[in-house]
Amino acid sequence: MALKLILTRHAKSSWKQLDLTDHARPLNKRGRASAEAVGDWLRHEKMVPDETLSSDAARTRETAALMGFDVEPVFLSALYHAGSTMMLRQLHNATGKKVMMIGHNPGIAEFAERLARDLPAHRRFLDYPTCATTVFKFDVDSWADVSFGTGKVKKFIVPRELVAA
């Protein structure tokens, strides 16, 4: 059996309200459009998650909501600015066959790079801009069996390729 991971960095956030904590920052207009576009793209690619694990920050919550999937996300404080090791630890607890994880840089970029067996040729993969999304395939039966360097990158997209600049 193969498991698929959809790894998404939150969409572009707003810095207009300087009195908000980092955790409370919402998305800006471009971020909202990007999250909707990535959600549409995932539906088109038949990559709708059956489980979503997300940071509990406002911008990751809003990203998940705007993607418009029927699955109720699980919001985890452990994924707020998590590094790659913590992200892998949280993934090991997943139960779905197509799992989405929504997180933050720099941890999510590091996680994507460390999971990949071979890096995609895309020039933006290593810096993982806002709402960048990678679809990984793992030839395992359980998420607990996933380790670094074992994910096959099936797709990688950045919102600018989906939304007119």
CATH number at residue 43: 3.40.50.1240
pLDDT confidence band for 7 (50 / 70 / 90): very high
Q: Which amino acid is at 123?
A: R
Report the pLDDT value the prediction gives residue 64, as an integer from 0 to 100: 98
Q: Residue 160 is encoded by which pair of tokens? A: 């600018």
CA distances for 150 relative to 18, 40, 73, 101, angstroms = 41, 27, 25, 17
Q: For residues 35 and 165, what is the distance between their CA atoms, to the nearest angstrom?
A: 14
The total of structural domains in the chain comes to: 1
Q: For residues 81 and 14, what is the distance between their CA atoms, to the nearest angstrom?
A: 17
CB 55 within 8 A of CB 75: yes
Residue numbers of the domain that contains 88: 3-161
Q: Residue 111 is encoded by which pair of tokens? A: 């996680």
Mean pLDDT of 38-63: 97
Mean pLDDT of 89-112: 98
Report the pLDDT value the prediction gives residue 26, as an integer from 0 to 100: 95
Q: Which residues contact 19 (CB under 8 A, 6 or more apart)?
A: none
pLDDT confidence band for 18 (50 / 70 / 90): confident
Mean pLDDT of 42-51: 97
Mean pLDDT of 152-157: 97
Q: Is the pLDDT of residue 120 over 90?
A: yes
Lowest mean pLDDT among 11-20, 78-87, 111-120, 144-153: 11-20
Q: Is the pLDDT of residue 165 over 70?
A: no
